[in-house]
Amino acid sequence: KYQAAHREKIVLLCQEWVDANLSEEQLFNKKRGWWKFKKERAVRKYSHSHEWAEDLLSYLNEQSYEEQPYILSTKKELTERLKIPKRSLDKVLKQLKEENKIHFRVRAGRNGGIMLASIHGLMRSVIRLKKESRGAYFAAISEAFGKEYTFVQTALKRLIDPNKIGVQTDLFMIDTG
């Protein structure tokens, strides 16, 4: 059975005959396994779901306006424009809805389609409105997406008033007078 030479002996011989300043790291290449490099997105055949989610959110931000913060389209048009497979689009829509980043409503049939809005776009338009017209705006959005008025109002207020983050302090950091 083959027994390899000891590293210490190799280091001593190389320091004696080659260079006295050589170290073990310079002599031995410690590769820990093999990993595949990451290809660029343009080269890859498939994309990750988080990349598709970013594409969808950026598309919504580009296409929505202040007057109409949602878009009306079909899933077929969305898949063609974003170059996302239909089932992957469904998964991304479901994931973004669970993360409270978008609202959408799907209608089947000949005059059907998808009504899609990002929460960020809705918030942008709510902030620009005056307080008097906010109630009417909340009612219009809740009617458009088929949700209760309170559901839309709480979802949007949750983004306006984010949770307060507590700060951990030590006992002797605070001046108690």
Q: Is residue 166 a part of any domain in this protein? A: no
Please answer whether residues 7 and 28 qualify as being in contact, where contact means their C-beta atoms are separated by less than 8 angstroms. Answer: yes
Residue 145: which CATH number?
1.10.10
Per-residue pLDDT of 47-64, as tens digits, reads 888 999 999 999 998 887
Q: Is residue 9 a part of any domain in this protein? A: no
Q: Is residue 26 a part of any domain in this protein? A: no
Q: What proportion of the chain, given as a percentage, has pLDDT over 70?
A: 80
Task: List Cβ neighbours of 56 (8 Å cut-off, separation of 6 or more).
Answer: 78, 82, 84, 89, 92, 93, 96, 102
Q: Is residue 96 a part of any domain in this protein? A: yes
Per-residue pLDDT of 84-142, as tens digits, reads 999 999 999 999 999 989 989 999 888 889 999 988 888 777 777 766 677 777 777 77
Please report which confidence band the pLDDT of residue 165 belongs to, taking 50, 70 and 90 as the band edges: low
* Structural domains in the chain (count): 1
Please answer whether residues 102 and 147 qualify as being in contact, where contact means their C-beta atoms are separated by less than 8 angstroms. Answer: no
Q: Is residue 107 a part of any domain in this protein? A: yes
Q: Which of 53-57, 60-64, 65-69, 151-155 is most confident?
A: 53-57
Q: Is residue 3 a part of any domain in this protein? A: no
User: In whole angstroms, what is the distance from residue 112 CA to residue 135 CA?
Assistant: 28
Q: What proportion of the chain, given as a percentage, has pLDDT over 90?
A: 25
Question: Which helix (DSSP H) or strand (DSSP E) does residue 134 occupy?
Answer: helix 131-145
Segment 57-74 mean pLDDT: 85
Q: Is residue 136 a part of any domain in this protein? A: yes
Q: Domain range holding 130?
A: 49-160
Model pLDDT, residue 93: 95
Segment 159-163 mean pLDDT: 62
Q: Is residue 156 a part of any domain in this protein? A: yes
Please provide the average confidence, as pLDDT, over all residues in the chain: 81
User: In whole angstroms, what is the distance from residue 49 CA to residue 85 CA?
Assistant: 11
